[in-house]
Amino acid sequence: MHAACEDRLSGLLPLLPYRFSEEELVQAVSTLIGRPIYVEARDMKGNFACGLRERYSDREVISFEINTSPLHRSHIICHELAHILCGHKGSIRYADIPSDEELADMIDWSVLGISARTSYEEQDEQEAELMASLIVQRMYRATVMPAKRPTAANERWNAMFT
């Protein structure tokens, strides 16, 4: 699974600068899949999921729990992006949402598939979690380590003093 995730990332990383932000990551994945990806904060009511991906024919929508830390937010977004990169169709159905009418009402049920970050028993969830961890690791490692092949002026400067 680790090798497969690394392989998928090898197609994404050339689309990103050495130091990349969450927004640049979302844009790169959007470019790679050829559909827009919208990211939004939602009050998930704390009892179903801390992240949600809705797959439509013309777009992807990623939602994250509004009341979470910045690092957790990044991980949730990367986890949902990993579902997209892995081609996961989504396994959540209306009946799977545990008596949370407010959350169920937030979802446009013309959706083609839904993935929700709830547990890690399914292989899709394990794969998305591993891939998210690899993405976050690259995102944050780049903030403290110089580029191996610096191209931008600030990367050359950092490499010189490391």
pLDDT tens for 92-118 read 554 555 544 555 555 565 555 556 555
pLDDT score at 30 = 96
pLDDT score at 52 = 84
- Integer distance in angstroms from the first to the last C-alpha of the chain? 33
pLDDT (tens digit per residue) in 13-70:
888 887 888 999 999 999 999 999 999 998 876 655 678 888 888 999 998 988 888 8
Q: Which two tokens stand for residue 95?
A: 């009946």
State pTM to two decimals: 0.75
pLDDT score at 29 = 96
Q: Where are the beta strands (DSSP E) in the chain?
A: 37-42, 51-55, 60-65, 113-116
CA distance readout (Å), 130 to 83, 112, 136 = 11, 24, 10
pLDDT score at 68 = 87
86 and 8 Cβ atoms separated by less than 8 Å? yes
Higher pLDDT, 74 or 156: 74
pLDDT (tens digit per residue) in 120-154:
667 888 899 999 999 998 888 766 666 667 676 66
